[in-house]
Copies of this chain bind each other. A is one copy, B any other.
Amino acid sequence: MNFRNFKMIGYVIYGRGAFNQLDEIVQPNRKAGAPMVFLVDHFFEGKPLASRVPAKGNDKIIFVDVSLEPKTTYVDQIANQLKDEFGVVSGIIGIGGGSAMDLAKAVSLMMTNPGSSADYQGWDLVKNPGVYKAGIPTLSGTGAEVSRTTVLTGPTRKLGMNSDFTPFDQIVLDPELTANAPANQRFYTGMDCYIHCIESLTGTYLNEFSKSYGEKALQLCREVYVERDGWDATADDKLMMASYAGGMSIAYSQVGVAHAVSYGLSYLLGTKHGIGNCIVFDHLQDYYPEGVKEFKYMVDKNEITIPKNICANLTEEQFDKMIDVSMGMKPLWENALGRDWEQKMNRGTLRKLYERF
């Protein structure tokens, strides 16, 4: 048995208003003449948070389009633009949800690694440390703030740049930043955390490290979405820690059926990760009976709408493509269903599942 040696993020600061310390935090990482580059979710363009970004000198704020999940072409475009404009940069600071943070990680790595980010989709392919990078979540649930990957859609696959160089040097966890997120979006992203806790805690890969983080994350999700009525500052506090703990729990665990199936949706239809997981999980009562029951309760209680009929008009070819992508997620299936997962899941079963969405 060989255990994974898990690379941790460098620094974490947690607190309501911690964002105000960002200038002071990045200061020691500035290099003469080289700007700090802030990749900010376009949601914040013209909003108060944008004016609080501590950009100075030749620093640059780029509002990034995260309507779709990050593509390798978009990563390359931003990195090449920065190289053309500045040569070198001091660092990349991602401010936003999972997509903005994953973009920041990927662009940081592409400032120091040659070629295209598509060349590094996979495990431990990145050769050089990136430039200084920091992640600042404004939505809680993805765990991107602590993960050693970046989820990117490339020319041939949706796969991260998974490496020891990928985790952030710094994360800033300021629950005030999540206060004004749209309720539906906040729910879908929170459920990303809930669903991956259910998947990892019922999976075959679990050990005590991941179990203790996963249990804590699950408990915090329940406190927020099951036990509390309405939304308040405490809900923001707790969900931010749920996201962090859920991300840490991935160290020695793996997600399962919902993620394997929703990857097919997002590859083909561009369905964003959080909502895609919700669409799929809603139909997984055969695999996660208790989790799905609680999920439906949370959907009702929080008055959320889960999109339906998104696969209504797909062609045979499109179904096949989704099934190909999903069946390719071997570790996820193995974690969920055991080593003999191919006895339990086949293309026909998967097809019937996709038809329900």
In the assembled complex, the CB of A248 is this many whole angstroms from the nearest CB of chain B, namely 10
Cβ distance A3 to chain B, nearest Cβ, rounded Å: 4
A11 close to B21 (CB less than 8 A): no
Residues of B near A215 (CB, < 8 A) are: 216
Contact B7 A21 (CB under 8 A): no
Query: Is residue A183 contacting chain B, with contact meaning CB distance below 8 A?
Result: no
- Give Cα distance in the complex from A238 to B209, angstroms: 9
Chain B residue at smallest Cβ distance from A6: B12
Q: A5-B21, A8-B8, A25-B5 are in contact. Are A14 and B209 (CB under 8 A)?
A: yes
**Which range contains the number of A residues in contact with the other chain?**
35 or more
Contacts of A13 in B (CB 8 A): 3-6
Cα A21 to Cα B1 with chains together (Å): 10
Contact A5 B11 (CB under 8 A): yes
* B residues less than 8 Å from A4 (CB atoms): 13
Chain B residues, Cβ within 8 Å of A6? 11-14
A146 to chain B, nearest CB (A): 10
Task: Report if A208-B11 is in contact (Cβ < 8 Å); known contacts: A5-B21, A5-B25.
Answer: no
Besides A208-B241, A209-B241, A212-B238, 16 more A-B contacts (Cβ < 8 Å) are A3-B13, A3-B15, A5-B11, A5-B13, A6-B13, A7-B11, A8-B10, A12-B209, A14-B252, A15-B207, A207-B237, A208-B238, A212-B220, A212-B245, A215-B216, A216-B216
**29 residue pairs A–B, Cβ–Cβ below 8 Å:** A1-B17, A3-B13, A3-B14, A3-B17, A3-B18, A3-B21, A4-B13, A5-B11, A5-B12, A5-B13, A5-B25, A5-B170, A6-B11, A6-B12, A7-B10, A8-B8, A8-B12, A12-B209, A12-B251, A14-B251, A15-B207, A207-B237, A208-B237, A208-B240, A208-B241, A209-B241, A212-B238, A212-B241, A212-B245
Nearest 5 Cβ contacts at the A-B interface: A3-B15, A14-B209, A208-B237, A5-B13, A212-B241
A contacts, CB < 8 Å to B: 1-18, 21, 25, 170, 173, 175, 207-209, 212, 215-216, 220, 237-238, 240-241, 244-245, 251-252
